[in-house]
Every structure is written in structure tokens, then in C-alpha cells.
């Protein structure tokens, strides 16, 4: 019976698994995060692979050189989709990649390729959406704070964008769903696997620009062109709770 491989849930950890598989020519039944495998039965033999920076770097290089950097990007993005079983799909993709090299990414008619590219497109889409939808609030001490709860783990993808945009400020993007935090202080970005502010501890007081924005948003629609369906298709309802302008009005 082929074994199950378990890793710590990080991308480095997953690359370390790939590295191990490649060097030991093993054929896994499953690759799982330790969190998920803890809920599983003990029937299957599991092997824990430790996250190893060198191994993961080496794997990244090999994929970039022997397949293509574009393929590596697809792998990374698909990984961030957080979808159950994505690890095995990526494994199939990489294995096909060793055969096809840089031609891999053009084989979109092949299911193994399409599956990964669709996932990566999904992540990319959500990342792009959130670059626009994230709303910062000004907290005391000039700290900008934003909360998100995306379907995919896009925090590491959006954080660098805000580093460019606000390099002289201090800010936090907080993924409520995954309890992760991107923290930017003193010119340095840190991605933390923990919540450093509990949402209930964030002061509720509105800053004046919030009401200005809401007001502005209401006034720019042309009612002769009113089109809520189009609005919803562009800005799906599931994101409305993070959008200030879509908050129901409380008085005034």
C-alpha cells in the first residue's frame, strides 16, 4: 500500500515533499497537511516530511529551470487555492512537466494541466479583486487596518502590493478566516501565522473619510443606467461585508 505524506501546510513544506518524492522515487497515495491528517484514520501509513528551506529552494529552481517559471507560478497560485487534494493535482502536473519541459503550460487541453491552471486563475482572480476591495481604516497611532476573509489564501500575494503603495506607513491586513496577519512596520513586511489584533478589539469609531466615501459612492451612480445585476456580477455579494460602501446605513 502506498503511503500518505504529511507536511506542515506551508508552501515550503509542500515543496520539501516534492523534493523528497523526486529523490526517493516514491508514489504517494495522498499528500496532506498535518492539520488535515490529524482528523484522519490511522489505517494508512503516514510519513511526515519536515519543511526544509534548502530542499524547497532547490525544488523551486528545478521547476523554474527544467519546466518554466510560469509553471512554477501556476503551482504556487494553485497551492494557495486551499482546495482539498490540490497537492496530488500539483504532483501530477509537475510529473507531466518533467516530461514536457517548457511546453507544459501550453497543454491546456490536458486535464492535468487545465485543473492546475483553472485553480491558479481562480486565485489570481481573487487576488486581483481583493487588491481593489480591501478597505483600510485608520486606527489610533496612524495605523491602517484591514480585514479580509477570502476563499483562497491570497494574503501573501496582496501584501507586497501594499508595500509598494504605502511604504511610508504602518499597516495590517488581517485574514480573519485563516487567522493570519500581514504586518508592515518600520519598512519591513512580516507574514504571521497568527492574529495580532482580535477583530472585536478594533475600535469601531468611524473616521470621517469613511462617511465621505460612502456618500460619494451613493452619488456617482447614474440612475438612468441603474444596473444592480451588473454590479453583483462584478462585485459578488460574498465580498460586500468587507466593503464600506456596501454597509447598511446606520442612521444619518
Give the largest Cα separation in the chain, rounded.
67
Binding residue (CB under 8 A) for another protein from 16, 136, 150, 184: 136
Q: Which is nearer to another protein, 47 or 144 (CB)?
A: 144
Compute how many residues bind another protein; rule: CB under 8 A: 54
What is the residue whose three cell numbers read 460574498? 238
105-138 burial by CB neighbour count: b if 16+ within 10 A, else e?
bebeeeebbebbbebbebbbebbebbeebbbbbb
What the block records as the C-alpha cell of 234 is: 462584478
In whole angstroms, how close is the CB of 121 to another protein at the nearest point?
4
Query: Quick check: 140 binds another protein (CB under 8 A)?
Result: no
Query: Quick check: 215 binds another protein (CB under 8 A)?
Result: yes
Q: Which is nearer to another protein, 121 or 192 (CB)?
A: 121
Q: Tell me how far CA of residue 41 lies from CA of 3, 30, 44, 47, 131, in angstroms.
A: 13, 13, 7, 14, 40
Query: Quick check: 15 binds another protein (CB under 8 A)?
Result: no
Query: Quick check: 226 binds another protein (CB under 8 A)?
Result: yes
User: Where does 12-142 show beta strands of DSSP type E?
Assistant: 30-33, 46-48, 137-139
Q: Which is nearer to another protein, 44 or 139 (CB)?
A: 139
Q: CB of 135 within 8 A of CB of 243? A: yes
Query: Quick check: 169 binds another protein (CB under 8 A)?
Result: yes
Query: Quick check: 101 binds another protein (CB under 8 A)?
Result: no
First to last CA, the chain: 66
Query: Quick check: 250 binds another protein (CB under 8 A)?
Result: no
- SS3 (DSSP) at 225: helix
Q: Which stretch binds another protein (CB under 8 A): 4-12, 63-71, 149-157, 214-222?
A: 214-222
Query: Quick check: 211 binds another protein (CB under 8 A)?
Result: yes
In whole angstroms, how close is the CB of 234 to another protein at the nearest point?
4
Binding residue (CB under 8 A) for another protein from 220, 237, 250, 251: 220
What gap in Å lies between CA 159 and CA 151, rounded to an integer?
A: 16
| CA nearest neighbour of 162 among 127, 119, 192 | 127
Binding residue (CB under 8 A) for another protein from 36, 50, 114, 190: 114
Binding residue (CB under 8 A) for another protein from 64, 121, 189, 192: 121
Query: Quick check: 144 binds another protein (CB under 8 A)?
Result: yes
Amino acid at each position: 500500500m502506498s503511503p500518505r505524506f504529511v507536511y506542515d501546510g506551508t508552501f515550503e513544506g509542500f515543496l520539501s515533499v516534492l523534493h523528497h518524492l523526486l529523490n526517493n522515487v516514491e508514489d504517494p497515495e495522498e499528500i496532506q497537511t498535518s492539520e488535515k491528517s490529524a482528523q484522519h484514520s490511522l489505517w494508512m501509513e503516514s510519513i511526515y516530511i519536515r519543511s526544509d528551506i534548502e530542499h524547497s529552494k532547490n525544488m523551486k529552481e528545478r521547476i523554474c529551470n527544467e519546466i518554466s517559471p510560469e509553471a512554477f507560478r501556476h503551482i504556487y497560485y494553485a497551492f494557495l487555492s486551499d482546495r482539498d487534494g490540490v497537492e496530488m493535482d500539483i504532483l501530477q502536473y509537475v510529473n507531466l512537466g518533467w516530461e514536457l519541459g517548457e511546453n507544459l503550460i501550453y497543454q491546456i487541453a490536458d486535464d492535468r494541466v487545465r485543473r492546475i491552471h483553472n485553480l491558479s486563475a481562480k486565485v489570481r482572480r481573487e487576488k486581483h479583486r481583493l487588491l481593489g476591495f480591501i478597505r483600510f481604516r485608520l486606527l489610533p497611532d496612524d495605523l491602517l487596518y484591514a480585514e479580509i476573509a477570502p476563499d483562497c489564501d491570497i494574503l501573501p500575494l496582496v501584501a507586497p502590493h501594499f508595500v509598494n503603495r504605502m511604504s511610508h506607513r504602518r499597516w495590517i491586513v488581517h485574514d480573519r478566516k485563516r487567522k493570519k496577519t500581514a504586518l508592515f512596520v518600520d519598512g519591513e513586511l512580516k507574514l504571521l501565522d497568527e492574529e495580532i489584533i482580535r477583530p472585536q478589539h478594533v475600535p469601531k469609531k468611524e473616521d470621517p473619510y469613511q462617511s465621505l466615501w460612502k456618500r460619494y459612492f451613493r452619488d456617482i451612480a447614474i440612475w438612468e443606467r441603474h444596473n444592480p445585476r451588473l454590479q453583483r456580477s462584478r462585485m459578488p455579494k460574498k465580498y460586500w461585508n468587507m466593503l464600506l460602501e456596501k454597509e447598511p446605513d446606520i442612521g444619518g
